[in-house]
């Protein structure tokens, strides 16, 4: 049985949210019950939860709603539309620290630290960016996902924009859909990467491991990542390159997947680590070395083009020295803008 995931866009939701899970049923399961096959194909969800979705009409077989005990003939197309469970409505405000880079009546720009989950989900129902936003900005409870319109991975640091009004949320999502939001990242990778390049490869769910994404997936969404080399370094006998990456699309794990597909996995990445040298085991750095250092967008009300920069957090600055680089190798505008911001605190 092949598991295919196909995002379906929603103008007021995450730009890269998966709204349904598509399953192509193989012929060798003929005669099996639908609920049994769903439980085997979707182990992240409990059997009771899957059955409840079927009974609620949130699962279709060849486009038709059916029953959990429906017997499959093989060859069908099944779509599962995950439904929010009661715990997902129980988001509570939490007094967690936030570094707010910019705030006005319409948007917030947050510098997210590594280790902070953006949105509550299984295994992380508390202690997230959303919980913190609800505490510091209670009015955000009126907006879907408290105004969050895009995500950073838990262990990726850097800049994110959050909407404070419904109008701003819709406008920001449209900018993300139109690829007009500028997002630049700093990425430390293993190997000697070329001076510049562009990766054009779809990104979709890995057919062998649902927790991973894969480049070049036939069922994936188109994705483009541009990069340029900022500096070269070394750890032990292994080459290291500091890259600036620019996203033209915003797929899940895009930079990590794209760079690994070229043979340049990120330092510290615990998931995408093909061609990671043996010396990586000696490097005391256990998160992907990725920081969203620049963000630019058109303000949803004033229409002004705004840009923010932030230097990497302390752990990445320490990593610079460990691989034979210095802060002089970082983009100059990041240091300049961070200095200006500090002067105005």
pLDDT at 190 over 60: yes
pLDDT band at 87 (very low <50, low <70, confident <90, very high): low
**Which has more pLDDT, 293 or 126?**
293
Res 209: pLDDT: 80
Are residues 56 and 147 both part of a single domain? no
Least confident among 216-225, 227-236, 238-247, 295-304? 216-225
Annotated catalytic residues are: 153
We report the CATH number of the domain holding residue 33 as 3.10.290.10
What percent of the chain has a predicted confidence (pLDDT) above 70?
Answer: 89
Q: How confident is the model at residue 229 (pLDDT cuts 50, 70, 90)?
A: very high
Q: Are residues 174 and 49 in the same domain?
A: no
Q: Are residues 112 and 149 in the same domain?
A: yes
- Structural domain total, the chain: 2
**pLDDT per position as a tens digit, 24-45:** 998 888 999 999 999 998 887 8
Is 90 exceeded by the pLDDT of residue 323?
A: yes
- Give the pLDDT score at 343: 41
Measured distance CA(267)–CA(280) in Å, rounded = 8
* Residue 8 lies inside a defined structural domain of this protein: no
Q: Pick the range with the lowest mean pLDDT from 90-94, 116-120, 237-241, 306-310.
A: 90-94
Do both 107 and 74 map to the same domain?
no
Question: According to the model, what pLDDT value does residue 19 have?
Answer: 62
| Residue 259 CA to its chain's centroid (Å) | 15
160: domain range? 100-343
What pTM was computed for the model? 0.74
Q: How crowded is the C-beta side of 5, counted as CA atoms within 13 Å?
A: 23
What pLDDT, on a 0 to 100 scale, did the predictor assign at position 21?
Answer: 86
59-61 and 2-5 beta bridge pairing:
unpaired
- Quickly tell me which residue has 């080459």 as its tokens: 239
Q: How confident is the model at residue 249 (pLDDT cuts 50, 70, 90)?
A: confident
**Residue 188, domain member (yes or no):** yes
pLDDT digits (tens, 9 = 90+) for 2-19: 333 333 333 333 333 346
CA-angle at 42, arms to 27 and 273, nearest 5°: 105
Query: Is residue 47 very low, low, confident or very high in pLDDT (cuts 50, 70, 90)?
Result: confident
What pLDDT score was predicted for residue 208?
Answer: 80
- Do 130 and 110 touch, CB atoms closer than 8 A? no
Whether residue 60 is found in the same domain as residue 108: no
Residues 95-111: pLDDT tens digits? 999 999 999 999 999 99
Vertex 170 angle, CA 14 and 203, to 5°: 30
Q: pLDDT tier at 88 (50, 70, 90 boundaries)?
A: low
């Amino acid at each position: 049985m092949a598991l295919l995931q196909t995002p379906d866009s929603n103008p007021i939701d995450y730009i890269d949210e998966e709204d349904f899970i598509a399953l192509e049923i193989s012929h060798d399961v003929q005669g099996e019950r639908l609920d049994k096959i769903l439980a085997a194909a979707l182990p992240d969800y409990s059997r009771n939860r899957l059955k409840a979705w079927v009974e609620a009409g949130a699962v279709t077989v060849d486009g038709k709603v059916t029953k959990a005990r429906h017997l499959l003939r093989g060859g069908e197309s099944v779509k599962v539309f995950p439904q929010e469970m009661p715990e997902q409505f129980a988001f509570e405000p939490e007094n967690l620290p936030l570094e707010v880079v910019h705030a006005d009546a319409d948007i917030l720009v947050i510098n997210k630290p590594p280790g902070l989950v953006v949105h509550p989900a299984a295994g992380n129902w508390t202690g997230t960016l959303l919980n913190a936003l609800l505490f510091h900005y209670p009015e955000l409870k009126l907006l879907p996902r408290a105004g969050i319109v895009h995500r950073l991975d838990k262990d990726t640091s850097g800049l994110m924009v959050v909407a404070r009004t419904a109008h701003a949320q819709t406008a920001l999502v449209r900018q993300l859909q139109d690829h007009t939001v500028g997002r630049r990242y700093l990425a430390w990778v293993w190997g000697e990467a070329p001076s510049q390049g562009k990766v054009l490869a779809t990104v979709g769910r890995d057919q062998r491991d649902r927790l991973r994404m894969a480049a070049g997936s036939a069922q994936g969404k188109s994705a483009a990542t541009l990069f340029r080399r900022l500096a070269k370094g070394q750890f032990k006998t292994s080459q290291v390159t500091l890259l600036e990456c620019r996203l033209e699309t915003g797929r899940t794990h895009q930079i990590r997947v794209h760079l690994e597909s070229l043979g340049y996995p990120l330092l510290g990445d615990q998931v995408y680590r093909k061609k990671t040298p043996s010396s990586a085991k000696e490097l005391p750095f256990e998160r992907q070395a990725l920081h969203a250092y620049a963000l630019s967008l058109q303000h949803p009300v004033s229409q002004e083009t705004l840009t923010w920069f932030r230097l990497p957090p302390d752990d990445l600055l320490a990593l610079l020295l460990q691989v034979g680089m210095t802060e002089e190798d970082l983009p100059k505008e990041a240091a300049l803008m961070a200095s200006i911001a500090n002067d105005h605190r």
